[in-house]
Structure 1
Amino acid sequence: MKRLINLRPTAPFNLMLGLLPFMLLIIAYMAGSDARLELNPNDKLLPGLEQMGGAIERMALEPSKRTGDYILWTDTASSLTRLGLGVLIAASLGLLLGLLTGALPLVSSTFSPLLTVVSLIPPLALLPILFIVFGLGELSKVMLIAIGITPFIARDLQRRTVEIPSEQIVKAQTLGANTSQILMRVLLPQLMPRLIDAVRLSLGAGWLFLIAAEAIAATDGLGYRIFLVRRYMSMDVILPYTAWITLLAFLFDALLAWSSRRLFPWHVQGAQS
């Protein structure tokens, strides 16, 4: 008799098991929605699929009467621009700090304590300061994302740099490599796939900071729209927008994973072995 810990589902059964919780959630939601709408056809708490479909059509396929924009796509473009810039800045700074503090003891002694302290500061507590310093425009929102996830990326890459076998550095020095050559040709290539992994792990926090910043001070964006319509209890808009954000996050993560496999196949093979 096989123990439960040793059972491995086949590929089709594995897919079915993965889809099962989603199907149960959808069924439970539809049952609850039907029950509430039967009692009150104007209920807003659990809108039906028809109501949400109408809201999606209105937000995505019909131009706004006030601006002429297709609201869903305008909000999506604004949010992705802010998130992309913030993540790009964080990845660049995190890579630089992680590489230097992990490889150079003098730099580590100087900046590692500061990096540790900054990583302990709740980024959302800095939001009022960012609004005061950078204003209510795009820069403050991008900076919140960058400040929020840079310490995580930097500390992760610092640890990865320290884990690289010292024999590689010794061999490079034996062959005449100087410090910059060791950094660029020995350490950096091994950190690039780790950087993608760190960015993937930090995306959840990046989305959180983006939504928070847009909810407080913005005139467009996915987070702005959700908090704008909540005053009207427009769950038929909030739920599709939340699902859309989840889908975008999944696609962003899948794109990074695909890029890692394409650019650094040796890293994926090493992780699986």
Structure 2
Amino acid sequence: MKPGHIALALLTTALWGFNFVMIRIGLESGLPPLLMAALRFMVVAIPALWLPRPKIPLGRMLAIGMFLFVGQFALLFTGMAAGMPPGLASVTQQSQAFLTALFAAAMLRERPGARSVAGMAIAFAGLALIGTTAGTAGMTSLGLTLCLAAAASWAFGNVLLRGAGSSPGGPLAFMSWLGIVPILPLLALSLLIEGPAEITHALAGLNLNGIAAILYVALLATSVGYGIWGFLMARYPATTVAPFALLVPITGALSAHLVTGESFGPIRLAGMGLILAGLGVTALRWPPRKAAA
């Protein structure tokens, strides 16, 4: 990858890491998870009023929106509301990197090279090491299950993004139009599961924390973050881009520690080191070995 594109990928991981803290703040402000997800995409879709529609078949756009946005965030927000702390939620979501590689190999015939496999194995060991600390952080089995299902939906959405092409209006236009897709499905799920009374109560009591959370997860985490992600996915193999998301547990854990007081000790730090090492093996260009004289 080009150095500038690596920098964009790193920015995305920072935005996504802090995203988990903002989701927790929004949920604690009284927003039901499915309603919060729907409000997120109402804000995301606003620029579609003046930006050109991406040149993507409608069926593919609907499929990407359903997996990348509806499936992922309905499950993630509900999982966090069911007892998944933000730092650990950021860890579980990164199983999408390995699921993306599996789905890409099956659907796109993208066979990862030996270095990619080695790097992902190192990173997976770090992710697994961090996961061993889950029992000490109040994580529920329901929250874990829902968050892992969200990661699977994200991974399938990643594969659908490959080859989707570019938007004449750039990444912002792509994300804005894509953000239209989840609004009605998420609102329908909110009405069905959370009910009109809870929705009305949440909207009537919406405070500054809830508004700030919605704006962050909509504008920075989605419009900017997923705009960059879609830009990179359209230009590089999924197995090259997806491992960058393994940095999200680091930014997510640090953010959760600083803002919510969620703790992590030497085991998590060792796991983060392995994740960084695996990412370096997978994504960075190494100088070619000189041939023997």
Q: TM-score, normalised by structure 2?
A: 0.29
RCO (CA 8 Å, sep 6+): is it higher in 1 or 2? 2
Structure having the larger proportion of residues in helix: 1
Q: Larger C-alpha radius of gyration, 1 or 2?
A: 1
